[in-house]
Amino acid sequence: MNGIIASIFIMIHSNKNNMNNLGNEMYDLIIKLFPICRSITGEGVRETLKIIEEYIPIKITEVPTGTKILDWNVPKEWNIRDAYIKDDSGKKIVDFKKSNLHVLNYSAPIHKKIGLNELKEHLYTLPDYPDWTPYLTSYYSENWGFCMPHNLYEQLHEGEYEVLIDSTLEDGHLTYGELFIKGESEDEVLLSTYLCHPSLCNDNLSGISLLTFLAAILLKEDLRYSYRFLFIPETVGSITWLSLNEEKVSRIKHGLVATCVGDRGSLTYKKSRAGHAEIDRVVEYVLKESGTPYKVVDFFPSGSDERQFCSPGFNLHVGSLMRTMYGHFPEYHTSADNIDFVSPLHLGDSLKKYLEVIYILENNQFYLNLSPKGEPQLGRRGLYSQIGAKKEGDTHEITALLWVLNLSDGANSLLDIAIRSGLRFKQIKHAADILHNKNLLKKIS
């Protein structure tokens, strides 16, 4: 097979074991990252990026507290060493070292003894899921608090409690990782994920793992597009990157935000703000051709970092390809989003879909028929025998040739031809390769 990144096509369509093995390796990376307490700033982010750096050569950027970033400022850096609640017998009833979800993320430091009523003002639970601990934050409003299972909350008794949150909120940096892979073109594909959540696997260690392994694969390929991978704190990280890199934004032609890609649900695609951009059409085509259930939802101005990249001042063509959408599974932002909630099989399947999207983006070009007046004589050029037209089952390959010749008028991409013909993109691409090699087509973009 000729054409751009043909090796990726071979990987995703000819070797199922390879994708299963990658799913297991992605799962292992999630296990490695799971214990780290991350937030939008701090040592947890740096530790996570250092681990990613063992897999791919990311560049780590530090942006000082107070830096003006569009309408925002980089916040103070938060770090935490320990936290607990002790009852009046000295027993720890909540222990940060057992689960970093027990602390309201970005809690200010505190160490004092208080009564039950005051303590309850700083406790957060999930009454509908009494065995789970919620994940909550207080990024931009200084506060302190603890999260716990509701069953434990109901067991609290009157008395004095010692509360300790050994944290710091002080001037420091916002930290993010970036990898740029140069292709033939200066036009870029943006692939972004967020790394600010603590011990939550689907949201979003799965996204971190997927983009790490995707980048490792693309580093080995000859690429048409250039690829920019971002590992950033959610919201403030994308705003920071956009603020510091406005001169690069015009090069971004397509993009995806990777989140919630490890659960057992069907795939979901959230469209870009444009709604009909090439990335939207490619992803929807890949999902339709997969033969498995999927959902496509229109853009809405909340969610993850796609809303920053798609803000009207930038209006980038960035969607989000995930499995079950954030907020649509009960385990979302709770301790139940753990190692058992994600699956190596589904991680591998998500990676495969990203690779299929990239394969089409790389090869979705426009051609011009160089013999447009009437149908060119294919037999004289040896094309019928080349594609095995004598077999009844191969007649679709003749059909692909005819579709490509007829619609290659400079206005239809290969994806357009695949959609209109009802043939698979690989068949249309193969036909275009044959015709191009026979000087019947010319690439025009």
What integer pLDDT is reported at residue 129 of this predicted model? 98
* Tokens (6 digits) for 430: 């193969």
Is-above-0.85 flag for pTM?
Answer: yes
Q: Helix or strand or coil: residue 257?
A: strand
Task: Say if CB 230 and CB 207 are below 8 A apart.
Answer: no
What integer pLDDT is reported at residue 262 of this predicted model? 98
Q: What's the burial of 129, exposed, middle or buried (CB within 10 Å: 0-12/13-18/19+)?
A: middle
pLDDT digits (tens, 9 = 90+) for 158-203: 999 999 999 999 999 999 999 999 999 999 999 999 999 999 999 9
DSSP state of 34: T
**Measured CA distances, 147 to 5, 44, 121, 234, 316 (Å):** 47, 19, 11, 21, 37
The DSSP-derived string for 271-286 is PPSSSSSHHHHHHHHH
The residue behind tokens 């015709």 is 435
Cβ-proximal residues to 328 (8 Å cutoff; 6+ apart), any chain: none
What integer pLDDT is reported at residue 389 of this predicted model? 42
Strands 110-115, 68-69: pairing is unpaired
pLDDT digits (tens, 9 = 90+) for 47-97: 999 999 999 999 999 999 999 999 999 999 999 999 999 999 999 999 999
What integer pLDDT is reported at residue 126 of this predicted model? 98
What integer pLDDT is reported at residue 392 of this predicted model? 46
For the chain, list residues with pLDDT below 50: 1-2, 388-390, 392-393
Q: Which amino acid is at 170?
A: E
What integer pLDDT is reported at residue 130 of this predicted model? 98
What integer pLDDT is reported at residue 1 of this predicted model? 45
Cβ-proximal residues to 305 (8 Å cutoff; 6+ apart), any chain: 192, 194, 232, 234, 235, 237, 238, 257
**Measured CA distances, 272 to 37, 199, 265, 416 (Å):** 31, 29, 22, 19
Report the alpha-carbon distance of residue 412 to residue 367 in Å, rounded: 8
Report the alpha-carbon distance of residue 10 to residue 31 in Å, rounded: 29
What integer pLDDT is reported at residue 383 of this predicted model? 87
What integer pLDDT is reported at residue 14 of this predicted model? 65
